[in-house]
Amino acid sequence: MPDLSVKAAGKSICGKRAVNQDALYISCRSDSGGRLIALAAVADGIGGEKGGEVAGREAIGDLYVLFDNKEIVSVDFLHRALEKHFRDVRFRLKDVAAQESGLSRMGTTLVVFALLADGEVIVANIGDSRAYHVQKNKLRQLTWDHTIKAEALRNGEKIDGNIGGLMENLTRSLSVDDHGEEADFFSWNIFSEGAGKQIFLLCSDGLYKFVDDEAICTTVYQQSSLEASVSALTELALKKGSSDNISVCLVEVDVLGGAPVKRQESRHFQETGKRRLSSVLLPVICLLMVFLVIILFAYLL
């Protein structure tokens, strides 16, 4: 199996806002003992200056615990740990809002990139903060936006205008008054891309709504370091007129030699989970139907 070398950098700024409601988390290491070697996240808080700041901070607050969890040695363990993190954030937001007035409308987006030593990757998101695979002349989005517009486009619906920005409203988030909407989880093996460097970008909408894909790619590859790249991207977003907080995180993964694994498509865990749920429910439903038929037959006799 090939070896992996990982490094990362991130930056979050207020921009033209008075308060930074974004938050980010980055951890990486070279010697993991088979565990996580990279974990990065970006959250974009909503619900007013105070509520958004609190929500964004809560979204990433316990990620260091997940990064140091020695039991996460497989992609299935990682998936369950991330699912639990998303659930826990929602519970914490509800608890905080119950204790402090003025926070009842707070919520946050959250996008996470996690890499295991065996090359397994999970990208998870809820809301419209994004993860990308950055290539020299192409920016490939790895996540699905949870907005009215994005959901409509995925369903093949025609979009006519964006009255008052309503089409950009979130359809999913981690919030006090949500209904338990699920995050999306995507998984693949990084070795399937072959040897060489791969760069992954996590960002809030303060970047991608103001800087186009080509400019993002060019800016990343023109700089001498990841630190210089994240600074250049935030500065470019400001120059392009970004009126929001701006958060950028770059993770560079270098696949060092060895035979690549068989190429695989990204797996959407949520769909897999639905199929698994259906396979469990179907036999139960059949047994219930048989039971009802027996009762009806006995009643008729």
Per-residue model confidence as pLDDT tens digits over 261-279: 554 555 665 443 433 333 3
**What is the share, in percent, of the chain residues with pLDDT greater than 70?**
82
d(CA 191, CA 266): 13
CATH architecture of the domain with residue range 3-263? 4-Layer Sandwich (3.60)
Q: Quick one: pLDDT at residue 127?
A: 96
SS3 assignment, position 151: helix
pTM above 0.95, yes or no: no
What mean pLDDT comes out for the span 224-244? Answer: 97
In this prediction, residue 27 has a pLDDT band, given cuts at 50, 70 and 90, of: very high
Residues paired with 24 in a beta bridge = 42
Q: Quick one: pLDDT at residue 1?
A: 64
Distances (CA, A) of 271 to 183, 234, 274, 275, 277: 11, 35, 5, 6, 10
Rounded mean pLDDT of the chain?
A: 86
Q: Quick one: pLDDT at residue 230?
A: 98
Tokens of 282: 């179907």
Tokens of 165: 């920005």
What mean pLDDT comes out for the span 7-20? Answer: 96
d(CA 6, CA 38): 7
Q: Quick one: pLDDT at residue 166?
A: 77
What mean pLDDT comes out for the span 33-59? Answer: 91
Helix (H) and strand (E) counts for the chain? 8, 13
286 pLDDT above the threshold of 60:
no
DSSP E strand boundaries for the chain? 3-13, 22-28, 36-46, 107-108, 110-116, 120-126, 130-135, 138-141, 174-175, 184-189, 196-203, 246-256, 267-268
**What is the share, in percent, of the chain residues with pLDDT greater than 90?**
66
Q: Quick one: pLDDT at residue 222?
A: 94
In this prediction, residue 293 has a pLDDT band, given cuts at 50, 70 and 90, of: low
**Number of Cβ within a 10 Å radius of residue 245:** 27
Q: Quick one: pLDDT at residue 195?
A: 83
Q: Quick one: pLDDT at residue 59?
A: 97
In this prediction, residue 284 has a pLDDT band, given cuts at 50, 70 and 90, of: very low
106 pLDDT above the threshold of 60:
yes
d(CA 150, CA 144): 8
d(CA 47, CA 291): 50
d(CA 226, CA 230): 6
Q: Quick one: pLDDT at residue 256?
A: 85
Least confident of 87-96, 192-201, 239-248, 257-266: 257-266
Q: Domain map of the chain by residue range?
A: 3-263, 266-301
d(CA 109, CA 172): 8
In this prediction, residue 35 has a pLDDT band, given cuts at 50, 70 and 90, of: confident
Q: What is the pLDDT of residues 155-187, one digit of tens each?
A: 888 777 666 567 888 999 999 987 778 999 999
What mean pLDDT comes out for the span 101-124? Answer: 94
**Number of Cβ within a 10 Å radius of residue 275:** 9
289 pLDDT above the threshold of 70:
no
